[in-house]
Amino acid sequence: MRRKYLDNIRWITVVLVVLYHVFYMYNAEGVAGGIGKITNLEVQYYDAFQYVVYPWFMCILFLVSGICSRIYLENHTGKEFARSRTRKLLVPSTLGLLAFQFVQGYFNMSMGGDGIEMIKNVPAPIAFVIMCLSGIGVLWYIQILWIFSMLLLLVRKIEKDRLWKLGGKTNILAVILFAIPVWVSGLILNTPIIAVYRFGLYGLLFFLGYYVFSHEEVIDKLKKYFILFLVPAVALGILFCIFNFGKVYADAPVNRTPLFTSYAWFACMAVLGGMAKYGNFENAFTRFMTKKNFGLYVFHYLGISMVAILLVKPGYISAVWAYILSTVAAFALAFVLYEVISRIPVYRWLVLGIKKEKKRN
């Protein structure tokens, strides 16, 4: 049976990512990448939303991706998995940059004062390549997910399901103690400049998803002890906000601390257990969001960026309207682009990894 709660976790998390990027675009906490503070408030207390979601929302996506990889491989071969993941993940995050995401790159470069001026002084082909690389943006997630997926195939050949069977014996104490290796993993394999590429942390979570939390017996334990994870998650989240509000949460030293990773871990366990217990359902709306959530993830930041650069940065609209229009544009443009591009042969393969539909007899 399809685990509907996994679909619901994914689309709900993507919605949180969209809202996070709206706050991030106009944050007053010094997190680089957006256009920064646009209000006259001495303190933007609502920026706390970023601190609430940032430590765990990408972590849960990698955990779920690991679980879904196991489910897929139970009914498909390794070659089918490799082809599927390459088409859905690698193609959009590489060839998709050349086909579409250079547009996002242009707006990303416009965030800084002299980004666009810089490429005016270089040959057009080089300027285009720079815009493509700048357009990676949110696609970093599917880039490293592809790497983990290919690495998984190698590990599977070596361990031949022995690790997976061992993962099924995980008890609730072991789940709690996993917070320690999660913290350690957050200290290693972090790229220097681009803080989101955390191969140690996200890699461990992906493999834990595959080897441990793909077992329904383990998920049943999380459902049973849901409160055991929810209460610490809330407490740790409050402490994280209190001790770090105003600091750059997305980079060292904050994102290397035990408080950061402990909050992320307990929040992930609470989400998995809670959604398995209460969110294992579907209706017309959840089916719609499940179907569109990849398009929403890939395209949402363009709508936010366009509002920020074309309307907010020149001062055409107030701060209130900046937040409202950025949110509306993120969802509306993403859904429109997905509907249009998903219908264009070849181009949809490049940008979204959608293969040609087989004709039915």
% of residues, the chain, pLDDT over 90? 89
Distance CA 321, CA 328 (A): 10
**How high is the pLDDT of residue 33?**
86
**Under 8 Å CB-to-CB from 40, ≥6 apart: which residues?**
none
Distance CA 111, CA 77 (A): 44
Residue ranges of the domains in the chain?
4-352
Name the pLDDT band for 123 (thresholds 50, 70, 90): confident
pLDDT tens digits along 295-344: 999 999 999 999 999 999 999 999 999 999 999 999 999 999 999 999 99
**How high is the pLDDT of residue 110?**
87
pLDDT tens digits along 39-87: 999 999 999 999 999 999 999 999 999 999 999 999 999 999 999 999 9
Best mean pLDDT range from 115-119, 192-196, 237-241: 237-241
Q: Give the number of other CB atoms < 10 A from CB of residue 238.
A: 12
Res 360 pLDDT > 50: no
Q: Of 42, 44, 53, which is closest to residue 18 (Cα–Cα)?
A: 53
What average pLDDT does the segment 253-270 reach? 97
**How high is the pLDDT of residue 150?**
98
User: Are the C-beta atoms of residues 179 and 266 closer than 8 Å to each other?
Assistant: yes
**How high is the pLDDT of residue 18?**
98
pTM over 0.85: yes
SS3 198: strand
**How high is the pLDDT of residue 240?**
98
Q: Give the number of other CB atoms < 10 A from CB of residue 321.
A: 13
User: Residue by residue, what is the 3-state secondary structure of 66-135?
Assistant: HHHHHHHHCCCCHHHHHHHHHHHHHHHHHHHHHHHHHHHHHHHHHHCCCHHHHHCCCCHHHHHHHHHHHC
What average pLDDT does the segment 159-166 reach? 94
Which residue did the predictor score with more confidence, 64 or 109? 64
Helices and strands (H and E) in the chain: how many: 18, 0
Res 179 pLDDT > 60: yes
% of residues, the chain, pLDDT over 70? 97
Res 359 pLDDT > 60: no
Averaged pLDDT of the chain: 94
Distance CA 149, CA 70 (A): 10
Name the pLDDT band for 210 (thresholds 50, 70, 90): very high
